[in-house]
Structure 1
């Protein structure tokens, strides 16, 4: 999918806004995601830490839940932001969660931070030879 500069700017702004909702009292590493669905709607999510560390969750599942609750079925692009300057990408588990709602060679993953957009990939580049719904023959 070709993402216009205007749409990229909106995704970046929403991802940075999502970071402000992060609950990260332990790591202080706020992550935001702006997820674009097949209908052109943007859904945001933030990481939520928990004192019992394994019970927290990443920003991507939050955005996917928002997408599903709004009636979205397919993710088209995900812009992930952290504090910078290091580039942030979805963790392995989140890559697999995103895989459930896309075709890996069509989902665009974009890394950003308060300084702007840094890099982009397809999910297939970040999660090669992935396992997905089609493997289950349902």
Structure 2
């Protein structure tokens, strides 16, 4: 699957987002090294901000599907510029991806930006940071 196909999967699932409060729908798709694709959407809650981000939903689907590694990420929203994953999602993505994992961010107008997990989360916290000294 190409990064264009991964972005198309994120775009398609975005329509299923549950965003009655902000009307800001986000779709995310992650591809694993095996080629499997898992998608997620943001799910808002009246007890704002207790919702779920699209990236977190895609990660949960990946784990439920028996996969644990991310090879590529795509995120799309209807915004003036491509949106980045929030700080919490950057950390969540880093838990399952490598620093050089590609991330494509896009908006519905067709503007795309590409980066890596390491660029989104420099100096990210990892399990090795919890090793006893």
Structures share a fold, TM > 0.5? yes
Distance 1:136 1:108 in 2: 26
State which of 32, 35, 41 in structure 2 corresponds to 1:37: 32
Distance 1:111 1:12 in 2: 8
Kindly indicate whether residue 52 of structure 2 is the aligned counterpart of residue 57 of structure 1. Answer: yes
1:93 aligned residue? 88
How many residues were matched structurally? 132
Runs of 4+ with deviation above 3 angstroms: none
Deviations 1:77-122 (A, max 9, x none): 110000133220100010011111122x221111112233511111
Distance 2:46 2:39 in 1: 23
State which of 99, 104, 107 in structure 2 corresponds to 1:110: 104
Gaps of 5+ in 2: none
Secondary structure in structure 2 of the residue aligned to 1:10: helix
Query: Kindly tell me: are residues 117 and 107 of structure 1, through their superposed partners in 2, closer, same or farther at Cα, counting changes over 3 Å?
Result: farther
1:38 to partner: Cα distance? 1.6
